[in-house]
């Protein structure tokens, strides 16, 4: 059995001058950072730019990481603030993106990480499509909780909210996600008939 180095151990190595340890941190978190950035930006190109900016900012601030939370929580808070800043700057130059285009972009990225189970992939297609139709705050909370496996407290730190507020927002986001999935699946059933 292989002993996997923890994020904290990798951070210590990076701070001691081992650059390849940071490459390992990026490798571990790049998919999820990209997914979060894509949820906010709705554009693959913008998400790639945001993700790259996040890893640069994290590297420059690594010595400020106090280890009071998981590294992933700290990193995802950087993704959130970087995404919000990017979107504020871009608001002046908004472009309508078709929801189908967003879905295709997400699927192209996910397809890089192939799954062996066709049924699981089919379910995830619908879930991801439904999440992409949610408001950014709802999509973020759902993504952090289920895909990022962050606790309510950790999500609260990322978003700057109390954990009780996150709990309420998560409940409401689940309801909206359920409604989106019901609509998507209803349309799919109609097409089959």
Write out pLDDT tens, residues 78-109: 998 898 888 888 765 544 444 555 555 555 54
Mean pLDDT of 6-31: 92
Q: Give the pLDDT of residue 97.
A: 46
∠ CA 152-79-155 to the nearest 5 degrees? 5
CATH number of 7-192: 1.10.1740.10
- Rounded Cα gap, residues 129 and 95, in angstroms: 20
Is the overall model pTM greater than 0.85, yes or no?
A: no
Mean pLDDT of 49-73: 90
62, with CB counted inside 10 A (0-12, 13-18, 19+), is middle
Q: Give the pLDDT of residue 60.
A: 92
């Amino acid at each position: 059995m292989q002993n996997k180095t923890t994020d904290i151990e990798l951070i210590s190595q990076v701070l001691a001058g081992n650059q390849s340890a940071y490459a390992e941190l990026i490798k571990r978190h790049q998919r999820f950072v990209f997914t979060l950035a894509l949820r906010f930006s709705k554009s693959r190109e913008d998400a790639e730019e945001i993700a790259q900016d996040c890893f640069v900012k994290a590297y420059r601030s690594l010595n400020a990481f106090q280890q009071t939370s998981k590294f992933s929580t700290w990193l995802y808070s950087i993704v959130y603030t970087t995404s919000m800043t990017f979107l504020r700057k871009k608001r002046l130059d908004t472009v309508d993106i078709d929801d189908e285009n967003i879905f295709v972009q997400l699927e192209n990225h996910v397809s890089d990480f192939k799954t062996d189970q066709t049924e699981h992939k089919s379910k995830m297609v619908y879930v991801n499509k439904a999440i992409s139709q949610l408001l950014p705050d709802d999509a973020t909370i759902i993504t952090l909780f289920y895909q990022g496996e962050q606790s309510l407290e950790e999500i609260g730190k990322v978003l700057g909210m109390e954990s009780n507020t996150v709990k309420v927002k998560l409940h409401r986001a689940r309801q909206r996600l359920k409604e989106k999935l019901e609509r998507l699946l209803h349309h799919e059933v109609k097409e089959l008939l």
